[in-house]
Structure 1
Amino acid sequence: MNKAAGGSRKKLSKRLKLLNALIRNKIKPEWMIITVVPVIPPDLRPMVQLDGGRFAASDLNDLYRRVINRNNRLKKLIELNAPEVICRNEKRMLQEAVDSLIDNSARHGKTVTASTGQKRVLKSLADILKGKQGRFRQNLLGKRVDYSGRSVIVVGPYLKIHECGLPKRMALELFKPFIIAELIKREYVHNVRSANRFIESDRNEVWDILEGITKNAHVLLNRAPTLHRLGIQAFKPILIEGKAIQLHPLVCPPFNADFDGDQMAVHVPLTEGAKREAAELILSSKNILKPATGDPSITPAQDFVLGCYLLTTIRNEDDNNQQIKTFSSVIEARQAWEAGVIELSDKMKVRLGKELLITSMGRIIFNEIVPNKLGFINKQTDKGTLKGLVKEVIHLYGRDRAVIFLDDIKDLASKYITISGISWGMDDLPAMPEKYQIFEVAERKVEEVENQYEQGFLTNDERHVKIIEIWAGIKDRIVDMCKDKLDKNGAVFAMMNSGARGSWGQTTQMMGMRGLMASPSGETIELPVKASLKEGMHVLEYFITTHGARKGLSDTALRTANAGYLTRRLIDVAQDVIVSEDDCGDKEGMLITKKISIEMDETIVKRVRGRVLLKEIKDGKGKLIARAGQIIDDDVAKEIEKADLAQVKIRSILTCKSKRGVCQKCYGWDLGYNELVKKGVAVGIIAAQSIGEPGTQLTMRTFHTGGVAGGGDITQGLPRVEEIFEARPIKRAAFLAPIAGQVQITSNEITREKVLKINGVDRQEETFEINKEDKGLIVFKNGKKVKKGEVIFKGKNNIIAPLEGKLHIQPEGKKIILKVMQERESEKEINIGRGVNLVINDGDMVERGEQLSSGPVDLFELYKLRGQRAVEDYIIKEIQYVYSSQGQPLNDKHVEVIIRQMFSKVIIEEAGDTIFSPGEVVEKGEIEEENKKVQAEGKLLATCKTVLLGITKSSLAAQSFLSAASFQETTRVLIDAAVTDKVDHLRGLKENVIIGKLIPAGTGFDKEGFLRSDKKK
C-alpha cells in the first residue's frame, strides 16, 4: 500500500476498505458466494394472457428460467461424469445466467436479449430499482394519489385570493367519500353501494350535502412544473357550473400560469392533520412572499396595473394655464362627478383635511382603498408604485391586510379598465417614412467600410464589428424617433408607460424597424431587417428572422431540461439541512463589507436584512443602532442605510456550529414570512428551489467573442452556475498569485509571451487543535523555531511538525490551537502566454491567491492558496453575479446553504485505530463520533481535512444510503452499503419518504409549534 501510487493505490485502498468491512462486521468471505438463489414472489413477476391467447411474461421469468435450465444441465453433466472442459463451460454459463439475473445492464457486450427475437435487453433485478422509472424514483419517492383531478383553468375575476372555482361535477367525485358518509348519517341510504346509486341519480339532497361539505373544506391546486413551494397552494373551493377550474388572477405569477390552455391538478387533503396544514400553512393568502427573496410574490400586473394607471391619470397635468374647479370636500367632488360636471381624469382642487390638493376624481377613488398609514397617493400609479404600496402595507399592517388590499386593487382596476374601454388598433402606430433617409446615410457608411476592407485597411473581423456598430446606432436613433412619434395620450403609450405590458423594443419592431438578427451560431447577421412588423417583411428579411425564432425555441427546450436536472441535484445535496436548534453559539460569523457588496452590484442593507447581528453596530457619532444578537429588520436596515456603514458582522450559515442542519440564529429570517425561521423548517429544500426555480430564465449560451483578442468562450448563465456548484475543473482558468509579493511584468523576447515574476514571501502554515482536557505537554514555547519532524506535543497522540518554521500557540475557549508557520523569501515565475488579459499592473503588490488575470477561478486552486473562506466568498459573488445580471434576485443565504454542503465532508488522512481507511470521504459528524469512541478506548484517533466537493459527489457521499441510492448509481451505493454494513438513521427527508414515515421537518419536527405560532397572526 505504501509503495503503490496513483491508480493502483486507489485500487488497493478500495480492496482494503472491503476487507476491513468484512472483518469489522464479522462476515466470512465464503458468505459472499451464493449457493441458493432466492426467487421473488410470482405477483412481482406476473404472467398475463393477451387478447390473442398468447402470454406476456415479466423479464424476470426468462432470467430465472435460464438459471434453472443451466443449473439442471450442470447437475446432469456432473452426474454423468462429463469431461472437465464441458463442465467448466457449463459452470461459466451458470455464473453468467446468475449475473444477468442480478444485473443485466452491468455486463457490457454480454447482455441477455429477449427470446422473442427482438433486440430488447431484458430488465434484471437491478434495473427494476434504478433510473427514473425504477422502484426508488417512480414508486417510493413519487406516488399517484387518490382524490385528485385535473382540468383547464380560466380566470375567476370575482374570487377572493384564498378562493378558487371548482366545477360541481368534479367536486362531487372528489368529495364522494364524505358525501357517502353524510348520506348514511342522515339515513337516506344504509350502505355504500346504495349511496353510490343515490349519488348517480342526481338528487337535490346530494347537491345540498356537497354544498355543506365544501363550505369548510380546502383543496390543493398544483400546476406542473412545480419549481418551488408556491407551485402548490390551498384554496377554499367555490362550486361553479361548467367544467373548468377558476383561478384568481393575482395568484398566477407564483404558479407561472396563464389562461392559454394551462391545466391544473386538484388534490383533497383527507386527514385532520392535512386539513389543518392546508388551512393554516398552505393557504394562498398566507403565502404572499417569495421564499427566495422575501419580496411579495403577488403583485398587481397587466389589466390591474393599467386600470389603476388610467384611473389615476390627469389629463394635461403639466398644463398650468387651464381653468380648474375647486371643491370644499371629497363628498362635493363626488356629487359633481356623479352629476357629470367633471370627469375622472379632470384636474381639480379639493380640500383634504386642512390642505387644498390639486388632484383628480380618479385619484380620490383610488385612495379610498389605500390604508390610512400610507397617506394620500397623489400621483399616477404604475407597476412599480403598486408593488411599493403592497410592500409598504405588508410592513405596516401585516399579511392579512395586504391580501384585502390586493383584492381591492383587483376589483377597482377591473371596474375602471372595463369602463374605459381601452384598446388599440394598427392606426395607433404612426407610419415613419423619414426612416428611409437615415437608412441611406447608414448604407453609405457601410459601403465605405467595405471599401476600406477591400483595400486591406481592415481585417474581416474589424469590418464585421464596424458594420454591426453602424446598424446598432441606427436602431437606437429609430427607437428615439418612435418615442417622439407615439401619441402620449394613446393606448399603446399607456400600456408601456404603466408597466402593464410591452416595451419600447417591441413597439420599435412594430412601427420602426426590426433591426439586426442573430444567426443560429449566435453571431449577428450583418444584413439588418429594415421593415417594421406593421409594413411586413419581404422574403429574405423573413428568412433571416426565422433563424432567431427557431434558435429561441430549441434553446428554451434544452434549458428547461438542464435547469430541472440542476434543481434535482441541488435538492439532493441540501435535502437534510433542517433548522435543528435555537442557537449554536457561533462567535466567528461573517463580515459583510460595502466594498464587496458594490462589486456584487448590491447594497450592504439588502444583504444583511433578515440576518442576526454578531457585533453591535453604531453610527458615525457612536450612537447605538442595534445590539449583538438582534435581528436586522426593516427598521434597523433603514438606520444602517442612513449611517452608511462600511461593514456589518453577521451570523452566517457558513460558520454555523450545529452538528446537524443549522440553527435559527445563523439562518435568520424565513423569507417566506419575514420573521425568524422556526425550528424544523426544511431550509435546504427552500434553498435548492430558490436557486433552481429561476434557472429556466437564465441564458444557456456560452458567449462567443468572435475572434476578438483575449477571446475564447465566456461561460455564463446556467452552465456557469452548474460549473461552480459541481466544482468542475475550468478550461481557461484565471492565474492566481502563488505567493504574496511584488509583481514584475516582462515579456519573452523570442516568443513575445508575457512572463510574470513575483518577488515575495512564500508563507506556509499547518494548524492543529488540542483540547485543554487532553493530558499532554507542548514541547516548545510560543514563537520558537521548530524543525520538520520534531515532536511539538507529547500526549496520547503525538503531534509532529510537518514543516520547518515558527510555532504559534493560541488558546481559544476550551481548545488550544498550535500553528507551525514557515516564511521564506522566494521568487515565482509564471508564463502567461498571449492574449491573456491581466488585471494587475507592473509593480503592484499582490496577496497569495489573488487573481492576476481575468476569467473564472479554479475553486480547488483558490482553496489550496487561500483556504475555505475565500472559496465561499468567491462562490457567493459569482452565483449572485449570474442571477442579478439576468434580473433574477436571490438571497445570499440560499447559496450559503449549498456551499455549506459542498464543504460538509472530510477526507481521511491518517486512519489511526478507527474504522475508516485513508483517502475515504466521510461526513464531519461521522468522524467526530468515531473519534470519540476510539478516544474513550484510549486508541489512536483519525486525522482528516475538509474537502471541497461538487454537489453530485457530495450527495453520493451522504451518510444515508437510501438517499444516495435514490439519487444516482443505485447499484453501487446499495452494494457498498450492504458490504460495509451501513445503518441508515433516517435523519433526512428523502429516506423517510422512501420508507413511508412522516418527514422530520415542518409539522413532522414540531407539530404544535409550527401550527400554533401561525395562529397568533
Structure 2
Amino acid sequence: TLLWIPEEAHEVNKDISLLMVEDGQYLEAGTEVVKDIFCQSAGVVEVTQKNDILREIAIKPGELHLVDDPEAAMQKHDSFAYPGQEVLPGVVPTELRYVEYVETPEGSALLLRPVEEFTVPDNPAVPSQESTNQMGRSIRLRAVQRISYKDGERVKSIDGLELLRTQLMLEIDTDAPQLAADIEFDKTDPDNWLLQLVILESLVIRQDISADLTQGSTRTRVLVSEGDKIAPGSVVARTEILCKQSGEVRGIRAGAELVRRVLVVTDADRLSLPCAKPTVQVNDLLRSGDAIGSGVIVPDSGQVVAIEDGNVVMRVGRPYLVSPGAVLQIDHSDLVQRGDNLALLVFERAKTGDIIQGLPRIEELLEGRKPKEMCVLAQKAGRVQVVYDSDDNAEVKIIEEDGNVLDYPINPGQSLIVSDGQVVLAAEPLTDGPANPHDILDIFFRLHRETKGIREAALLSLQQVQEFLVNEVQSVYQSQGVDISDKHIEVVVKQMTSKVRIDDGGDTTRLPGELVDLHQVEQINEAMEITGSVPAEYTPILMGITKASLNTDSFISAASFQETTRVLTEAAIEGKSDWLRGLKENVIIGRLIPAGTGFNAYDNVSSDVEPIYESAIAFDEADENVVIDDNIARSLPTYPIPIPANSEYEEELVDDDMEFEDLDDDDDSDDDLIE
C-alpha cells in the first residue's frame, strides 16, 4: 500500500519583501501569497527563505485545530489518525489523516492532512511465463514491480508522477551465458500489440591468423549455410591449424590431458653427421665441439636421436647451464615457448664490509627500543599446546611444570615457530619477529626472584640480557662480514645494564622510581641489614646509551653529550657538585684522567714525612719508582701517615684523604667510553 500526502508548492525565488502571508498562517483557496501568485487549495502555508530571498512556498491542505497542551500535541506529530480515532477532544476524523504539529500565528496547532491510499497488488496483472528445453535449460519472463521513490521522500511534479512501475524481466540460466534475447513488437493488429522474444545463441568464430616464424596459421571454415536448421550439438564451424613446414609431429601426450601445444620437428632442426665408428649412443646430449668419433666434431649442440648407416642423426638444441641448487620451473619433456622461464638461479656472493643497512638494528638494540613487530616470548618453561579454531586462527597455550596453563594471544599477521607438544624454555620465542630485550629482562628477573634473593636475581637477569644484546649486535655485524671483538660491545652493554629502578625505598633515603646504580643500592641495603632497617626493593632496568649517558653523576659529562641546556639548568637548580671522578669530565677541563700515571692517589703526600708502615709489606727505592695504574692503586691497602701536631697541612691532608677515599670507591671510570 502506498500512502500519498498531497501538498501545493510554488517556487518563487523573489525578494522576501514580496511575501504577503506569514509562515504557519492558515489560508483559504484563492489567497494571494506572493504578488501575482495565488494558492489553489486551503491549508497552512510554509515559507522557505535563504539570505532574504524567498525560495519556495508550500501550502499543506487539511483541517487546523488549535491545542492548549503543546507537549501532548507534539507526541502525536508525524503519525496517522485512522477513522473513528479521537485525535483531540471532540475531533474524530472520518477518513485516514496524517497528523502534523505546526506553529501558527495564533499558537500551536495540529494539522490533519488528507491521505490518498493506493493499493499495490501482491501479484502483478501480467502473468509470468517459463519455457524449458530438452536439456533442462529454461528461460523465464517474470513481472517485477518497482517503486520509484523512497519512504518519506518529498517529490514535485506538475503533470503527475509514476509511483509504481511494472516491468517484465527476462531470466536466463547462468549455465547458458551465450544466450541472448531480441525483443520485438508485432504491430499487425493496431488494437493489440504482441511482444515477441527471439532467443539467440551467439557463437564467436576465431579470427584467421597468418603464419609467423614459430607458429602456424589458423583457418576457420563455416560448415553451415544461411537458413539451415541444425540440431543441438551440431558442428557449425571448424578451426584448422596449418603447419608452415613439413616435419615430424612430437609432444602429443596421451590421457585426459588436453593437447594445447603440438611440436613439429622439421628437417632444419636435424643434423646428420657421417661417422663410421661413433662413440655416442642414442639420447646422448652433446655440446658444440664434442667428439662423436675419430676426427668427427659436432658443430652444434643437441641430442642424438638415431644412428644408422654410418650416420649420426642429432636434433639441434640449445643448452642452458644452471648451477647446483637451482629451482626448475619445468618438467622433463615439457613443451616450452620463447620467453618461458626454465629455472630460478640461486646466487651467493660474499658480503662486503658495509654496515649501513644494519645500523638501524644496531641503533634499536643499543638504544633499548622496543621492536615494532616483536615476537611473543614464553614466560616460563613448559610444553606448547596449539589449538586452531574454525577460522584457522591459532591459540597457543603453555602447560608449565607446575601444571599451570597460561594463554598467549597471537596478533594477526604473526606466524608460529613452535609446534604442538614442543618443550620451550623461559623467554624462548613462540612467534616470528625480533625479541624485546626489556621483556627478556623482566621474564628472567621474575623467574629467578622466586628462588633467589633480589641481588642474585638482578645479577642473573642482567647477565641474560647482556648475552642477548652482545649476540644480537654481533649477528648484525657478522651478517655484513664485519668481525669485531666482544669486549667493545660489552663495555657499552655494561653501562646499559648498570642501573636499577627503586620500587620501595624502605628505610633508605631513596624514592620510588629513582634510578640508582646496582652496586650503590646494594651497599645501602647492606648497611640497612646491619642496622636492622628495611632494605630497598628494586627492579633491574635496561637503559639506552643516550639515556645512560645523560643519567650519570657528572653533569659536565652529561652536558657535553646531549640536552646541554636542560642538564646544566637542572644541575644549577639542584646545586650539584661534580667530583671529576670519570674520564670525560677531566678531559673537558684539561686535567689528567684518573687512570695510569694521571691517578692522583699520591698528589698531596708530603715528602718531608717518613711513612711508617704497620704492615709486613715493605717498599724499597726501586718499588717507589714503579708506575701503577688505577686498578693496582685501588687494590692496595691504605696506611696512616703521621702528621706533626698543629701542622699547617693537617687540615688539607685530611680533606684530601677524604677525597681519596671517595675516589677509591668509585668504579665508574667507564661511564663515558660509550661515547
Higher helix share: 1
**TM-score of the pair, normalised by structure 2:** 0.34
**TM-score of the pair, normalised by structure 1:** 0.23
| Max Rg structure | 2
Larger relative CO (CA 8 A, sep 6+): 1 or 2? Answer: 1
Higher strand share: 2
